[in-house]
Amino acid sequence: MHILVIKFKRNIIPLLFLAFTLGLLIFSKANLPAVKNGLQLFATSVIPSLFPFFVATELLMHTNIVNCIGNLFNSFMKPLFNISGKGAFALVMGIISGYPVGAKIAANFRQNNICSKEECERLLSFTNNSGPLFIIGTVGIGMYGNSTIGLLLFITHLLASFTVGFIFRFWKHKKNDNYNTAKSENSSNMQNAKMVNFYNLGEVMAESITNSTSTILMIGGFIVLFSSIISILNASGITNIITFALSPIFTTLNIDTSFIQGIFTGLLEITNGINIISGIHIKGISINIILTAFFLGFGGISILLQVLSIISKTDLSAKPYIIGKILHGLIASIYTYFFISFLPFFNFNL
């Protein structure tokens, strides 16, 4: 029995891949519409909202903007987050653009030797966030039909992000984050070598577009893949089995069992999960909003795998990112609860 358990653990990933392939064959009728919906979401929402930002960040990395931001924001980035001021570029762009721009910039910083390994891992923990277009537009207005809900979720999302950043200022704080003179010179020389000018403008733009296209296609692939996975889980009845198994626990905790499917889906993929949660009609809609705040912060396994693929070419650890996103979701939920409870403007019948 012990040998069988060891073999199962060793082969669990190939078995999952095999199960997914069989699921595609058996449930192809239900899977095809899901794939089409995933592709439509990718083409109509993800590319227009993310691709320009990917190109913009790639282009900005070839300018002196990172150093300028570093000098401007170093006075508060270092005391608050134990990161040099250059990290403010990842923070600002991560807030504006949304997943997974923050992680991509942190990985670029590490590849270009702009920040130390420890600083980049701290950046990973709190700069990879949902963007305002998604939170206020897609979630608030599109799913809940209420811009105030979107504003509430965006405010608590940002506050939770800053809180996680402050907590992770102590991540490997005993290690020396300051580069020695030789490293600083190497980094400066590398930056100057890549500085954009009129002579290499075409080359830099082409390189930026190529890198951005690679990233956006990777994101599209994850969206389609998880659309298929969720479709197979629903069509095979696995989702119903999980709902049935967890129903007694939710009933004991006095939580509506209709949330189980949304929570399970949200753990896999953020957009589909929040869409299900927002569509559940109960008397106290604040429960829906608090759960939504958690998933906006957590991001789901789909986003996690995107980030893992982005940092795979660096020496950055995924551990601070995983811990940071769990904390982000929990803290955002708590902030949302207090905002709804104590600020009449955000009271949604808790």
Mean pLDDT taken over the chain: 84
- Does some domain include residue 86? yes
Q: Which domain holds residue 318?
A: 12-346
Count of domains observed in the chain: 1
- Does some domain include residue 6? no
- Does some domain include residue 1? no
- Does some domain include residue 5? no
- Residue 184 clears pLDDT 50, i.e. is over it: no
pLDDT digits (tens, 9 = 90+) for 67-106: 788 788 888 888 899 888 888 888 888 888 888 888 988 9
SS3 string of the chain? Answer: CHHHHHHHHHCHHHHHHHHHHHHHHHCHHHHHHHHHHHHHHHHHHHHHHHHHHHHHHHHHCCCCHHHHHHHHHHHHHHHHHCCCCCHHHHHHHHHHHCCCHHHHHHHHHHHCCCCCHHHHHHHHHHCCCCCHHHHHHHHHHHHCCCHHHHHHHHHHHHHHHHHHHHHHHHCCCCCCCCCCHHHHHHHHHHHHHCCCCCCCHHHHHHHHHHHHHHHHHHHHHHHHHHHHHHHHHHHHCHHHHHHHHHHHHHHHCCCCCCHHHHHHHHHHCHHHHHHHHHCCCCCCCHHHHHHHHHHHHHCHHHHHHHHHHHHCCCCCCCHHHHHHHHHHHHHHHHHHHHHHHHCHHHCCCC
Mean pLDDT of 24-41: 87
187: pLDDT confidence band, cut at 50, 70 and 90? very low
At 3 the pLDDT is 62
- Residue 8 clears pLDDT 80, i.e. is over it: no
| Share above pLDDT 90 across residues of the chain, in percent, rounded to a whole number | 25
Mean pLDDT of 171-187: 52
Mean pLDDT of 292-314: 92
pTM to 2 decimal places: 0.83
**Between residues 31 and 189, the one the model is more confident about:** 31
- Residue 189 clears pLDDT 50, i.e. is over it: no
- Residue 258 clears pLDDT 70, i.e. is over it: yes
At 185 the pLDDT is 40
- Does some domain include residue 223? yes
- Does some domain include residue 43? yes
- Does some domain include residue 83? yes
- Does some domain include residue 312? yes
- Residue 55 clears pLDDT 70, i.e. is over it: yes
At 183 the pLDDT is 46
- Residue 235 clears pLDDT 50, i.e. is over it: yes
